Structure 1
Amino acid sequence: MTNPRGNGLRSVADQSEQERGGPGSILSRQSRDHAELDELMRSYDRATGPAERGRVVAEVGERALRHAFAEETVLFPAYRRFLAGDDDELTRHIEGDHQTVNEALERLQGADPADAGYDEVVRHAFEVIRHDAHDEEDDLLPRLQQAVGVEELRSIGAAWEVQRRLSPTRPHPRVPREPPGNVLAGIPLAVSDRVKDAFDAGGARRGVAVAVVAVAAAGALVVLARAVRRAGRGGAGPRA
C-alpha cells in the first residue's frame, strides 16, 4: 500500500510482524497499542449511555497517557539520538499533541458525561490520538527502522514497555514533555496516581497495598532516570 505521507517510506501498518522486527520490536509494540487504542475509541460510539461512555473515556485516557509517556521518555529520545541529522519537527509536533490530549483529559476527569460539550472534547482528543498514530506509523517509525537494526529496535521496544507499565496513569499537562524533566516528575506521579486509582477502585486497604507496589515501581523509574542522564552525557544504549 502506498504511504499516505508520500515520503517514500513503507508504513509499519502495512508490514508484517516479522518485517517490523518481531513482537518485541518498538515498531510492533507501538502498532499493537495503536490498534487496541483505536478499538477502545470505537467502543465509545457503541456505548449505551453516559456512564458507559465515561468508563470508555477513562480507559482510553489511561491507555493513551501511558503510551505517550513511554514515547516521550524512551522512543523520542532514541529517535533523536539515532537520527541526529534530521529536523526534529515531527517529535516536537507529536509532543504538542500529547499536551493537547493531556489538557483535554484533565477537563474530562471531573466532567459529567451527560453534560453538553463533553462529547465534543472527547472526539477532539480521539482525533488527535489517531492523528499521532498515523504520524508515528507512517513517518517516525519507518525512519527509525531505516536507521537502526532489529536488535536495537527490540531493545528500544523493551525499554518502552517497561516505561509504559510504570508511567503515570492520570493527565498531568504541567509536566515537561522531554527528559530528564518528564522522567524525574514521573516518579512521584506514578506512585500518587496508582494510590488514587486503588482508592477509587477498592478503598483504603487496597490503596495501601498498591502504594507498596508503587514505591517499588518508583525504584525502577529511578533507574530509568539515571539511564536518561547517562545517555545525555553520551553513554551507551538508547536514551530511556
Structure 2
Amino acid sequence: MATTIETQSVDQMGGPGSVLARQRRDHAEMDRLMDRYRALEDGTERERVLKQVVQLVFSHAFAEETVLWPAVRRAVADGEELTSRVEEEHQEINDLVTDIERLEPGTAEREEKVTQVFALIRQDIRDEEDLVLPRLQEALDAARLRRLGAAWETVRRSAPTHPHPGVPRRPPGNAVLGVPLSLYDRLRDGLGLGVSGPWGRRILSGLVGLLVSGAVAAIVRKRR
C-alpha cells in the first residue's frame, strides 16, 4: 500500500513531471508563502504575499477539480468519497477567502479569517498527500501519472486565481465557466489596485457577466 507522498523521492512519485510531484511542489510553495506572510509586519509586502497565496491556491484547486479528481473517481474504488471530502474543504477555503477579500487589511476580523484559511489549506494538503494521492499512485503507473501531470499543469496555468462562490466544483460546469472567470481574475490581477474601486469592479463584472452568459448558453445548446 502506498504511503504519504510527503516523504517520497521524486523518482518514487514517477518523476518531476508526475502529477504527484507537481502537487507536492505547489504544496511546499503554499507552506513557504504562508510562513512568509506570518513573518512580515502589516504593509504592502504582506498583502502582496497573501495575494500570491490566493492565486496559487485557487489555480491549483481548479486544476485538481477539473483534471485530477475526475481521474481519482475513475481509478480509485472509493474515489467519490475521497474527492468529496477535499471538495468540501475547497468550498470552505473559497468562502473564507471571499470574506477576506471584502475586509480591510489589518483588521482583527480579517486576520482571524486568514488564520482560519491557512489552517484549512494545511489540512487540505495533508488530506491530499496522505489520503487521496497515495490511492491514485496505487492505481496508475508512472507514465500515466506523468500524462496526468501534463494535463493538470496546462489547466493550472490558465485557471482562475480568486474565489468564485457560485461556480460548480466539478466538470463540465467548472471547466466551461473557468475560461471567462480566468480572464476576469487575470485582468484583476494585472490591474492591481485599479480594480479595487467600484468602477473597476463594475467594468470587470460586466465583462465577465457577458462571458459567463455566453458560456451558460453554450452548455444549454450542447445538452439540447
Normalising by structure 1, report the TM-score: 0.78
Q: Does 1:138 align with 2:121?
A: no
Residue 174 of structure 2 is matched in structure 1 by 182
Q: Does 1:39 align with 2:28?
A: no
What amino acid maps onto 2:34 in structure 1? M
Of residues 5, 8, 15, the one that matches 1:22 is 15
Of residues 89, 95, 99, the one that matches 2:87 is 95
Residue 104 of structure 2 is matched in structure 1 by 112
Q: Does 1:57 align with 2:50?
A: yes
Is the 1:51–1:113 Cα contact (8 Å) retained in structure 2?
no
What amino acid maps onto 1:173 in structure 2? P
Which deviations, in whole Å up to 9, do the C-alpha atoms of 1:23-65 show, x marking residues without a partner? 0000100011100100100111111224333222211011100
Q: Compute the displacement of 1:185 (Å).
A: 0.9
What SS class does the counterpart of residue 31 from structure 1 fall into? helix
Residue 3 of structure 1 is matched in structure 2 by none
Which deviations, in whole Å up to 9, do the C-alpha atoms of 1:153-177 show, x marking residues without a partner? 0011001101110001111111000
| Residue correspondence of structure 1 range 88-237 to structure 2 within 5 A | 88-200=80-192
Is the 1:169–1:190 Cα contact (8 Å) retained in structure 2?
yes
Structure 1, unpaired ranges of 5+? 1-7, 204-217, 223-228, 230-240
Is the 2:2–2:138 Cα contact (8 Å) retained in structure 1?
no
What amino acid maps onto 1:182 in structure 2? N
Residue 63 of structure 2 is matched in structure 1 by 70
Q: Identify if the C-alpha distance between structure 1 residues 183 and 99 changes in structure 2 by more than 3 Å, giving closer, same or farther.
A: same
Give the ranges of 4+ consecutive aligned residues of structure 1 lying more than 4 Å apart after TM superposition: none
What amino acid maps onto 1:64 in structure 2? V
Which deviations, in whole Å up to 9, do the C-alpha atoms of 1:61-120 show, x marking residues without a partner? 11100110000001000111112x325222111111111111111111132221121111
Sequence identity percentage:
46
Of residues 63, 72, 86, the one that matches 1:79 is 72
What amino acid maps onto 1:160 in structure 2? W
Q: Give the distance between the partners of 1:192 and 1:18, measured in 2 at CA.
A: 38
Kindly tell me the number of residue pairs found equivalent between the two proteins: 201
C-alpha root-mean-square deviation of aligned residues, in Å?
A: 2.3
Q: Give the distance between the partners of 2:47 and 2:65, measured in 1 at CA.
A: 27
Structure 2, unpaired ranges of 5+? 196-210, 216-221
Q: Does 1:9 align with 2:2?
A: yes
What amino acid maps onto 1:183 in structure 2? A
Q: Give the distance between the partners of 1:138 and 1:163, measured in 2 at CA.
A: 24
